[in-house]
Amino acid sequence: MTENKKDEITIYDVISKKKEVTRKADTKLIMKAYNLAAEKHKDQKRGSGEPYIIHPLNVAYILAEIGLDDNTIAAALLHDVVEDTDITQKDLTDMFGSEISEMVAGVTKLSTIQFATVEEKQVENYRRMFLAMGKDIRVILIKLADRLHNMRTLKYLKRDRQIANAKETLELYAPLANRLGLYAIKAELEDLGFKYMYPEKYYDLVESINKKKVGKIALKIISFVLFICIIIGGTTFHNVLSRSFKSEEKSDVAIVLGCVVNGDKPGIFLKGRINAAYKYLNENPNAIAVLSGGQGNGENISEAKCMFNCLTEMGIDKSRLLIEDKSTSTRENFKYSKEIIEKNGIKSKKITIITNDFHECRASEFAKQNGFKPLRYPSKTPWNGYMPFATREIFAIIYQIYLAR
């Protein structure tokens, strides 16, 4: 929170900030003011135990951040020397001129004012402040910066002082900063004032805000992930659709991918693939087919053997059928089919994949990974099986092709 703001400000930070905001700085004047303040405050400590000069440096830095002029920065560095050291008003006038001296005198007067209670009209407090500052609004700005840094380090004071300063800040200084259009300073003064005035409510509020922030971050992450999933899923679904159409070109080798076997009979998807293989082999009498699929749970025979039995019963010569019965996944279908093809001396890399239309996309990718040039001969998927299996296939494509490589 606000208490963690940097306290280890140096005079070079002040000058650098002044140049950054206003494009110029009277380094000689600012250094002169700093050297005097550092010398006069050298034996003084703040409630935190730190050297007192840290306070005027921070006040000057706050004013440099909002673009105040060189004389105001110098007055900020010197704002406590008359009140807390042996320097007199005349000394300041002789060394820095009346403008800076009068600003310091105005801040000193403000420090001695007894402000009205909240029950009295706030305008009375403002009247007293404006009487103290004379004609120079910069006195109020220095005082606001002074109060802001004191509030940032309020934790070092006793509880009764914390409450008194917090009350005065909420009732007087935060509203004044708001009237002057210093909204960032006003917000920080309110935040710190509320923290010390009502600590339990403050930390409850901080916890609530942090939870909301975590929730927002989580929502953003989820939204981003969903967006990526939609992009990948949409691209994948497009690929599924684009590769579900039959290739015009033919090859002399087809790989028929296995699917569920019920006992020793083909399931509904496998029936479709067997029928497509039968049709392809009849259309291409010189082609052979690798029947690929091992034996799964609940299957009495391998998927390859089931396809072999069905195709031979349908009249396909067994010499045109090669059995690959070790595979348990689409990736392995092509790995082990490649071994069968090479073992049989077939050199052509062009193969036709026979599987369900929604499966052609993923199958083609695995075929390419094994050095094949895949063509498509899809079997049509029954309407009642398309949505669940096609949807599952999209996630399988994302995982096996994009993530599991």
CA distance 405 to 391: 21
Q: Cβ(104)–Cβ(81) under 8 Å?
A: yes
* C-alpha of 378 from chain center: 43
CA distance 400 to 362: 8
CA distance 3 to 13: 19
The reply to whether 84 belongs to the active site is yes
Pick the catalytic residue from 83, 91, 191, 332.
83
**Backbone torsions φ then ψ of 373, nearest 5 degrees:** -110, 95
For CA atoms 139, 142, 146, 148, give the dihedral sign.
positive
CA distance 405 to 402: 6
- For 259-393, where are the E strands, in sequence order? 261-262, 265-266, 288-292, 321-324, 350-354, 373-376
CA distance 12 to 338: 73
Q: Cβ(142)–Cβ(59) under 8 Å?
A: yes
The reply to whether 252 belongs to the active site is no
Q: Cβ(327)–Cβ(355) under 8 Å?
A: no
Write out the H or E segment, with its range, that includes residue 156.
none
Pick the catalytic residue from 84, 99, 136, 332.
84
For CA atoms 361, 367, 368, 370, give the dihedral sign.
positive
Q: Cβ(291)–Cβ(323) under 8 Å?
A: yes
3-state secondary structure of 337: helix
Q: Cβ(354)–Cβ(277) under 8 Å?
A: yes
Structure tokens at 349: 């890399």
* Residue positions annotated with a catalytic role: 83-84
